[in-house]
Amino acid sequence: MSFLDQQYREIITKAIIGKGRKFTQDTDVITPSHRPSSILGCWIINHHYHAKLKKEDVVEIRGSYETNVWYAYHDNTKTEVVTETVEYCDKVPLTIRDEHHLGEESDVFAKVIQQPNCLECSIEERGNRIKVDVEREFLVEVMGETKVYVKVDPKGKVYDEEEWDLALSDDELDEIDPDFLANKDEE
Instruction: Name the pLDDT band for 82 (thresholds 50, 70, 90).
Output: very high
Residue 33 inside a domain? The answer is yes
Q: CA–CA separation, 55 vs 116, rounded Å?
A: 25
Identify the helix (H) or strand (E) that includes residue 174: helix 170-174
Chain centroid to Cα 148, Å, comes to 26
Share of the chain above pLDDT 70, in %: 86
- Residue 159, domain member (yes or no): no
Of residues 54 and 32, more confidence is placed in 32
Distance between CA 142 and CA 23 in Å, rounded? 18
Whether 55 shows a pLDDT value over 80: the answer reads: no
Q: Which residue has the higher pLDDT, 27 or 149?
A: 27
Tell me whether residue 185 is in a domain: no
CA distance 24 to 86: 14
Supply the mean pLDDT for the chain: 85
E-assigned strand segments in 33-129: 36-55, 58-73, 78-93, 96-97, 102-123
Nearest Cα neighbor of 130 from 45, 69, 75 is 69
Q: How many CB atoms lie within 10 A of CB 57?
A: 14
From 151, 139, 148, 140, select the one nearest 15 (Cα to Cα): 148
Query: Is 163 a domain residue?
Result: no
Q: How far is CA 87 from the centre of its chain?
A: 19
User: What domain count does the chain have?
Assistant: 1
126 within some domain: yes
Q: In this structure, what are the phi and psi dihedrals at residue 174, rounded to the nearest 5 degrees?
A: -65, -30
Each residue's pLDDT tens digit, 124-142: 988 789 999 999 999 999 9
% of the chain at pLDDT higher than 90: 53
CA distance 11 to 142: 19
**Residue 104 is assigned to a structural domain of this protein:** yes
Q: Tell me what the mean pLDDT of segment 146-165 comes to.
A: 73
pLDDT digits (tens, 9 = 90+) for 11-44: 888 888 889 999 999 999 999 999 999 999 999 9
How far apart are alpha carbons 69 and 124 in whole angstroms?
Answer: 14
Q: Of 55-64, 99-108, 156-165, which one has max mean pLDDT? A: 55-64
Would residue 164 count as lying in a domain? no
Assigned domain for 87 exists = yes
CB 86 within 8 A of CB 31: no
pTM of the model: 0.71
Instruction: Give the structural domain span for 120.
Output: 4-154
**pLDDT in the model for residue 163:** 60
Instruction: Give the residue, 132 or 179, on which the prediction is more confident.
Output: 132
